[in-house]
Amino acid sequence: MASKTFLALLAALVLQGGALAGPLFVTSSDSGTAVFDPYRWRLAGTLEHSRDPSQLVFEEDGARLWTISTDGKALNEVDLDSNRVLRRLDPGFPPLALCPAGNGRMLVASAWGDLLRLMDTRQGGPPGGSLELPGKPLALFPLPDGRRAAALLSLPAGPSAVSGTAVEILLARSLSPTQTVDLPFPAWDLAFSGDGRYLAASHEREGLVSLVDLRGRRLTRQIQVGPGPRGLALSRDGGLLWVAHRQKDRPTGCVSLVDLGADRVVATRDLVGEVRGLALLPAQGARPAQVVVAAVIPEAQRTGMLYSLDPGLKRILDDQPLAGRPLRVLSPVSAAPPGPSAPAPVQVSRAAGTAATPAADAAGLGGFLKAGFEGRVLDRRGGGPLARARVWAVNPAGRTFPGTVDGRGDYRIPGLPWGSYRVEARASGYRDLTTPARTLAFTSALRLDLELIPLPPPK
């Protein structure tokens, strides 16, 4: 049984934001990509126009995304409001995997071999350079710092005639490799701690998870976590690990919680279905922190199930039947690096979607993903409203979003793509105000009053 100290640590890590609050994109090989709201526990819509729905890269404005075209030969830019393709770009080879690189750029891995290309989507897609990798790319992962990316590689057979696996870490915008990490076995999934220091890799056949210290450039240890580990989620500091297990020839899957300080499994939870992956989501509003898990139902291989568990895996909070076989579930990853207080994005494996609700379709998926700030602009010394102030929000890429202020000093900055922002305010006779970065969850309006300090009178 977990100690009170361990449970307190668990609660603190979740409340710090071990993962990014946002919508889940639930992908399937046979029924499109569903957009799921894990905080209201409902489906919001369905995306189309994608061959491999696990490959999604979001534009910085949050209103558009890039995915691999249905014919597998090009990239599609999809508008979330209209759910239609805006344009198509040819990378020069069949794309296998995508990863954001910042400032409208995107990394594209080739399905033909060992080539990685940097595409500039704002300039019509001309290549920004290419890199020949030391092995065949299997998947691409953005690191939490927004500057680096990781390529999971299958290496050629060595002297022992056994193919190896490695992770190539590189600076995304310059295609400059920084380090290569050799893994002892083929990896099913990778996860990174929020500070970008630690990497975890799951080895399904061996029942192991490898832990890598990226700063120390070394494989630190391997932990036996039980049969069939697949999807992974690391806490922000790399101290806790959640593992989704596939239990072969059994109708149930399993989720485990590993205390990496003690190198042991401290909690498990069996679930009906073949578990494909999981995501760790912080508390939002009335919804507590949760681990969302997806599984294929064994009796009918074309249906799936989403489960919501408490982070300690003590109980099931919710479940949701879904149509289609699950492939992956993604939290959107912006091309802009997260702000200093923004938690790390999480990549997950999960179940597939059904048709959207009429209300969600009417609003458009782009509207579903919007958030905002609201509150009152006040004189900090006297407490009175400042009706003539100007307010705006700034994202980590430096883009500004203006707000409105009415005669009572109430302000609104609506229609923001969910993510990290600081709010700035200015009024004549007062010092400019800049707030610390705050993270917005989708479909939410964060209340934030702004108190401006009067300037001293001229001498």
* pLDDT score of 283: 72
Which helix (H) or strand (E) element contains residue 128?
Answer: strand 127-132
Looking at residue 357, its pLDDT comes to: 27
Instruction: Report d(CA 414, CA 256) in Å as an integer.
Output: 39
Domain around 295: 4-365
Q: How far is CA 103 from CA 57, 60, 172, 255, 399, in A?
A: 12, 8, 11, 37, 11
DSSP class of 121: G
Q: Report the residue count for the chain.
A: 459
Same-domain status, 381 and 433? yes
- pLDDT number for residue 340: 26
φ and ψ of 392, to 5 deg: -160, 160
Domain boundary among the residues 365, 380, 405 is at 365
Q: Can you tell me the distance from the alpha carbon of 446 to that of 374, in angstroms, rounded to the nearest whole number?
A: 6
Dihedral (Cα; 384, 389, 393, 394), 10-degree rounding: -120
Query: Would you give the DSSP letter of residue 67?
Result: E
Cα–Cα distance, 236 to 20 (Å, whole number): 10
Which pTM value belongs to this model?
A: 0.69
Q: Judge contact between 324 and 36, C-beta under 8 A.
A: no
Domain annotation covers residue 458: no
Segment-wise mean pLDDT, segments of 10 residues, the chain, 459 residues: 36 35 60 70 68 65 73 82 81 88 86 88 72 91 86 74 76 91 90 88 93 91 91 84 83 86 90 81 74 76 79 88 66 32 28 27 43 90 90 87 92 80 94 88 73 88
Q: Number of folded domains in the chain?
A: 2
Residue recorded with tokens 């805006």: 86
CA nearest 204: which of 110, 275, 155?
275
pLDDT value at position 285? 66
Environment class of 14 (CB within 10 Å of its CB; exposed 0-12, middle 13-18, buried 19+): buried
Nearest residue to 255 via CA among 304, 282, 301, 291:
291
252 shares its domain with 123: yes
426 domain residue, yes or no: yes
Which pLDDT does position 333 carry in this prediction? 34
Tell me which residue has tokens 């203006």: 402
Whether residues 101 and 188 share a domain: the answer is yes
211 and 105, same domain (yes or no): yes
Same-domain status, 300 and 444: no
- CATH code of the domain containing 99: 2.130.10.10
Please tell me whether residues 180 and 236 are part of one structural domain: yes
Q: Is the same domain home to 176 and 249?
A: yes
Residues 59, 79: contact at Cβ < 8 Å?
no
62 part of a folded domain: yes
With respect to residue 291, please indicate whether it lies within any of the assigned structural domains. yes
- pLDDT for 13 equals 32
* 8-state DSSP, 33: E
| pLDDT at residue 329 in the model | 60
Q: Identify the burial level of 18 via C-beta atoms within 10 angstroms of its C-beta, where 0-12 means exposed, 13-18 middle and 19 or more buried.
A: buried
Give domain status of residue 213, yes or no: yes
Give which of 276, 183, 263 is closest to 232, Cα–Cα: 276
State the DSSP string of 225-285. --S-EEEEEE-TTS-EEEEEE--TTSSEEEEEEEETTTTEEEEEEEEESEEEEEEEE--BT
Residue 457 is assigned to a structural domain of this protein: no
Q: What is the DSSP string of 430-451?
A: B--EEPPPEEEPTT-EEE--EE
With a CB cutoff of 8 Å and minimum separation 6, the contacts of 344 are 18, 19, 20, 144, 192, 193, 194, 195, 196, 236, 338
We report the CATH number of the domain holding residue 382 as 2.60.40.1120
The confidence score (pLDDT) of residue 390 equals 95
CA 133, CA 153: separation in Å to the nearest integer?
8
Q: How many CB atoms lie within 10 A of CB 428?
A: 9
**What was the pLDDT predicted at 399?**
84
The helix (H) or strand (E) run that includes residue 10 is helix 4-17
Query: Do 47 and 151 have their domain in common?
Result: yes
